[in-house]
Amino acid sequence: MKKCRSIRKIDLSGNLLGSHEIASSINPTQVTCGDTISDLLNDGVSDIQTLVLAWNMIRDKSAAKIANSFKLNTSLTHLDLSYNKLGEEGGQILGNALFTHKTLKVLDITSNEISPKACFVIVAGVYACKTLKIVNMGDNPIGEVGTESIMMLQTILADEIDLDMRGCSVRLKDKTCTFDYAQPDGAYDLDL
């Protein structure tokens, strides 16, 4: 696929990508789906516009690599990572990548165990990524902090973006998320 520049859409959904991730932690030289997909997205010549990786087992190291590679890609307009396990680390890396991405229009991260912290970073990235029009974050445990950040984003960008959070666990309290929107002048630790 790296040699064929005419590919615009790749759908690898439902292929158990990432299912051997645990084995790669035992053998660090083993190439994972995250390694391969991130190489494809970072090759500098790829013109892939739509990447569908839904219903796989992308998690841990693969999730982080794919999310990080997204930062350098300049052609992707539609990314579907639904029904995987980005989790907190992958979600935060993806949110960070959105700050520099300039072409993405549709992002689907439904059911990825996105934590409140990761949701907060993703929402900040969505705000920074001016090309995004549709974001689906449904069925994630985003908690109160994630919900508040989404609601704030909706008030700012209501006419510009369709952000779906159906089925999210919104009442969860994450004690590690200490930012309080009601009292933003409090004392906080910034860990860089």
Helix (H, G, I), strand (E, B) or coil at 127: helix
Q: How far apart are CA 126 and CA 43, in angstroms?
A: 24
Q: What is the pTM of this model?
A: 0.86
Q: Which helix (H) or strand (E) holds 136?
A: strand 134-136
Higher pLDDT pick, 32 / 4: 32
| Per-residue confidence band for 158, with pLDDT thresholds at 50, 70 and 90 | confident
Higher pLDDT pick, 75 / 181: 75
Of 148, 133, 141, 144, nearest in space to 167 by CA: 141
Q: What is the CA radius of gyration of the chain?
A: 17
Q: At what angle do helices 87-98 and 116-128 cross, to 10 degrees?
A: 10
Residue-wise pLDDT for 87-142, tens only, equals 999 999 999 999 998 999 999 999 999 999 999 999 999 999 999 999 999 999 99
Assess contact for 163 and 150: CB atoms under 8 A. yes
Q: What is the pLDDT of residue 62?
A: 86
Residue-wise pLDDT for 9-68, tens only, equals 999 999 888 777 764 555 667 777 888 888 888 866 678 899 999 999 998 888 899 999
Assess contact for 61 and 34: CB atoms under 8 A. yes
